[in-house]
C-alpha cells in the first residue's frame, strides 16, 4: 500500500509540473503575441529586452529632465531676486534724476550722499551674480522670520523653546507645501 501511495503522490507531482509547464507556455505565447513575434520565443525574448532597454533610456531621460527643470527653477528664482533688487535701485535712481532734472525743487547738496550710495549700489549690483541676490534674499527672509518668531515667543513660553521652534518649523513647512 505504501507503494501505491508513493505512486499516487508521484502522479500528482507530475500533473502539477505539467500544469506549471502549460501555464509557462501560455505566458510565453501571450508575450509572443504582444511583441508581434508569432510563436518565435527567441525573437520575443529579444523584443522584450529591447523594450526594457527603451524603458531604461526613458527613465534616464526623465531623470535628466527633472534635474534640468530644478536647475532652471533655481536660475529663475535667482534672476527674480536680482530683478527685485534692481527694481528698488531704479526707484532710487529716479529720485537722483529728479534732483538733477528739477534742481529748484530740491536742495541738491542734501542728496549728494544719497546719490553716492545709489552709485555704489549700482556698481555692486552690476558685479553681483543673480545667485548671490537669491542667497541674499533668502537670508533676509530667514532673518525676518526669526524676528517675527522672537515677537511671538511670549505666547510659546509655556511649552519651552525647543518645542516652540519645532512647532514653528512645521508651520513653515506646511506653508511651503501649500505653495508648491
Beta strands in 47-165 (DSSP E): none
Q: What's the pLDDT score for residue 117? A: 81
Domain boundaries, the chain: 131-180
| Secondary structure letter of residue 1 according to DSSP | -
Whether 180 has a pLDDT exceeding 70, the answer reads no
- Dihedrals phi, psi of 73, to nearest 5 degrees: -65, -40
Q: What does the pLDDT read at residue 140?
A: 74
- Average pLDDT of the segment spanning 41-51: 79
The stretch 69-79 carries a mean pLDDT of 86
Query: What does the pLDDT average to over 108-115?
Result: 75
Please report the pLDDT score of residue 86 as a whole number: 79
Interval 91-101: pLDDT, tens: 888 877 777 77
Q: Specify the pLDDT at position 145.
A: 77
Place of cell 550710495: 117
User: Max Cα separation, the chain?
Assistant: 125
Q: In this structure, which long-range contacts are made by residues 137-143, counting pairs with CB atoms below 8 Å and at least 24 apart in sequence?
A: 137/81, 137/84, 137/85, 138/81
Share of the chain above pLDDT 70, in %: 89
- 48 touches 31 (CB < 8 A): yes
CA 143 to chain centre: 24
pLDDT at 124 over 70: yes
User: Using CB atoms within 10 A of its CB, is residue 131 exposed (0-12), middle (13-18) or buried (19+)?
Assistant: middle
Q: pLDDT at residue 30 above 70? A: yes
Cα separation of 165 and 171, whole Å? 10
3-state secondary structure at position 39: coil
**Cα–Cα distance between 154 and 137 in angstroms, integer?**
28
* Cell numbers that stand for 34 in this block: 504582444
Question: Taking the complete model, does pTM exceed 0.85, yes or no?
Answer: no
Q: How far apart are CA 45 and CA 41, in angstroms?
A: 6
Helix (H) or strand (E) holding 116: helix 112-127
Please tell me the distance from the alpha carbon of residue 131 to that of residue 75, in angstroms, as a whole number: 7
For the chain, what is the mean pLDDT? 78
Alpha-carbon gap, residue 47 to 41, rounded angstroms = 10
14-28 pLDDT per residue, tens = 899 889 888 888 887
Residue 103 vs residue 63, higher pLDDT: 63
Quick check: 59 pLDDT over 80?
Answer: yes
| pLDDT confidence tier of residue 6, bands split at 50, 70 and 90 | confident
- What pLDDT does residue 1 have? 57
- In whole angstroms, how large is the CA radius of gyration of the chain? 36
Give the model confidence (pLDDT) of 146-158 as tens digits.
777 777 777 767 7
Amino acid at each position: 500500500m505504501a507503494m501505491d501511495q508513493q505512486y499516487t503522490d508521484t502522479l500528482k507531482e507530475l500533473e502539477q509540473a505539467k500544469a506549471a509547464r502549460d501555464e509557462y507556455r501560455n505566458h510565453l505565447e501571450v508575450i509572443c503575441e504582444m511583441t508581434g513575434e508569432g510563436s518565435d520565443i527567441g525573437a520575443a525574448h529579444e523584443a522584450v529586452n529591447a523594450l526594457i532597454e527603451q524603458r531604461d533610456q526613458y527613465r534616464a531621460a526623465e531623470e535628466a529632465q527633472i534635474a534640468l527643470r530644478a536647475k532652471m527653477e533655481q536660475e529663475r528664482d535667482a534672476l527674480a531676486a536680482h530683478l527685485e533688487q534692481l527694481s528698488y535701485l531704479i526707484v532710487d535712481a529716479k529720485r537722483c534724476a529728479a534732483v538733477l532734472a528739477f534742481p529748484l525743487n530740491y536742495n541738491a547738496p542734501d542728496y549728494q550722499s544719497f546719490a553716492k550710495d545709489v552709485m555704489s549700489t549700482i556698481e555692486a549690483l552690476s558685479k553681483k551674480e543673480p545667485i548671490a541676490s537669491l542667497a541674499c534674499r533668502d537670508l533676509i527672509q530667514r532673518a525676518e522670520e526669526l524676528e517675527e518668531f522672537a515677537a511671538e515667543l511670549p505666547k510659546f513660553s509655556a511649552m519651552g523653546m525647543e518645542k516652540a521652534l519645532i512647532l514653528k518649523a512645521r508651520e513653515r513647512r506646511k506653508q511651503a507645501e501649500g505653495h508648491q
